[in-house]
Chains A and B, each alone.
Chain A
Amino acid sequence: AQSVSQHNHHVILSEAASLELGCNYSYGGTVNLFWYVQYPGQHLQLLLKYFSGDPLVKGIKGFEAEFIKSKFSFNLRKPSVQWSDTAEYFCAVNGVRFGNEKLTFGTGTRLTIIP
């Protein structure tokens, strides 16, 4: 069974600070990796995804993530956060195998940006 761990439950930063949110996964096969963001009262929106190729992926709103296969990690980064980045961030994984396309989510990290 696959699982995802997000170690930071709540992160508080000032505007312009750099951000790194940790994500580790467990799965005995090839995976796709995702970061979703959920703004208050809204649905999940895809920030970025990794299927294959360059392990450093760039997403929307200046976010990027790096897949480190040896560490089973897919950490999310942003060099300079803005107040509008206040939201909940979810790391997710699915297996590259028919019948296992479902997403398994981490517990989420609540990010609060102080102006």
Chain B
Amino acid sequence: DSGVTQTPKHLITATGQRVTLRCSPRSGDLSVYWYQQSLDQGLQFLIHYYNGEERAKGNILERFSAQQFPDLHSELNLSSLELGDSALYFCASSAGGLNTEAFFGQGTRLTVV
């Protein structure tokens, strides 16, 4: 158990819908990262939050948004879903800073039908 909690574990939804994925970081960690894992794209970085503020943005579509709340949990919102959004979405957390390691949650498997 990494200490990073993601909910839900599985999500099946229809095209055009909107879903919210939730991540609780390890106790004390200030950084939260979101990654998308798919067969064709591999592990892609989406976005990084540090202590409530966006620190870096990767290959995140405009239909996707995220935020980190004062209690440090984070949510990834995916809207106008398309079949191609089906993937495993991982959240990771770290203490923050330059030489820290990231711990990954179990992931949310999103299936868009």
Q: Which residues of A contact B (CB under 8 A)?
A: 32, 34, 36, 42-46, 49, 51-52, 90, 96-108
Contacts and interface: CB of A to CB of B under 8 A. Distances in A.
Contact of B42 (A42, A45, A49, A105): A105
A77 B107 CA distance: 27
Contact of A43 (B48, B58, B90, B101): B90
Contacts of A42: 106
Given A43-B107, A44-B90, A103-B33, A96 B98 contact: yes
Nearest to A49: B101
Given A90-B43, A102-B56, A105-B42, A34 B107 contact: no
Contacts of A52: 99
Contacts of B58: 102
A52 B98 CA distance: 12
A84 B99 CA distance: 30
B1 to A, nearest CB: 10
Given A101-B94, A101-B98, A102-B58, A46 B45 contact: no
B20 interface: no
Interface in B26-59: 31, 33, 35, 42-43, 45, 48, 55-56, 58
